[in-house]
Amino acid sequence: MAKVCILIGGSRGLGKSLLALYQQQGFTVLELSRSGSGDEHLELDMSRREAAIDTVDRMLADLARERWDEVQLIINAATIGPIGPLALSEPKQWWQHLDVNFTVPISILGRYQYHFGAYPARKVAAFVSSGAAHSAIDGWGLYCASKAGVNHFLRVMAAEQSLQPLPIECAILDPGVMATQMQATLREASVAQFSQVQSFIQLHQNGQLAAPETVAQNIYRRLAEPVSHTEVLDVSGY
């Protein structure tokens, strides 16, 4: 079986664990981020949306010329900042956030449909979302909105795919809280930026953040099974 995983954001944290696990399981992995390394790495800065989509488009076109039995696209990359009510940051920072967390993920899903819609293989499009998509957390307006937006886009995409002869299976994944750089960034916020910062410091102090390796295993196992609906899938590890 020739299996490929296109992993957006595999340089650290959950993405790095997914990269190692998918390789162990016999997948060819293409990893795209700013700071990844190795033969499987392709440079991608999602805050530069025009260059980013050109890179992704070329990569998908090349892959679609090869013969695969299974193709999994996992959009894991995201950013949390700027944290705080928008009065504390600038529009250019908001637009960068929205490009990384919303515009480019949706653009990648669109180009995946274009290149792989009619491709004869098992095809998966998975998005690493967050509980923030359905909770209103002060200071996280951009993050909550962008995660909710991509989730809903994927629900529409799943409805469209169900009308296709060779549908792409769409998955929305909630990884829970994990011990990664993103959590370290959150803990550095001030109370003025984010009133619940202390509770996140406590999660860390109490050892209540899951290991990203555990969450990666849950994702791998869940995506190995057919995905037939677009409820949020709980892949948390704690």
Q: Segment near ligand NAP (CB under 6 A), from 43-51, 157-165, 189-197, 218-226?
A: 43-51
The residue within the footprint of ligand NAP, chosen from 72, 103, 151, 180 (CB under 6 A), is 180
Q: Which is nearer to ligand NAP, 55 or 113 (CB)?
A: 55
The residue within the footprint of ligand NAP, chosen from 20, 28, 40, 45 (CB under 6 A), is 45
In the bound complex, what is the minimum distance in angstroms from residue 178's beta carbon to ligand NAP?
4
Is 46 a binding residue for ligand NAP by CB under 6 A? The answer is: yes
* Rounded distance between C-alpha atoms, residue 191 and residue 193, angstroms: 5
In the bound complex, what is the minimum distance in angstroms from residue 204's beta carbon to ligand NAP?
10
The residue within the footprint of ligand NAP, chosen from 4, 21, 44, 73 (CB under 6 A), is 44
Find out whether 73 and 108 touch, Cβ atoms under 8 Å: yes
Q: Which long-range contacts (CB under 8 A, 24 or more apart) does 195-202 make?
A: 195/138, 195/139, 196/137, 196/138
The residue within the footprint of ligand NAP, chosen from 53, 100, 142, 150 (CB under 6 A), is 100
* Rounded distance between C-alpha atoms, residue 102 and residue 142, angstroms: 10
The residue within the footprint of ligand NAP, chosen from 177, 189, 216, 235 (CB under 6 A), is 177
Q: Which residues bind ligand NAP (CB under 6 A)?
A: 9-15, 33-36, 44-47, 76-79, 100, 128, 130, 175, 177-178, 180-183, 212
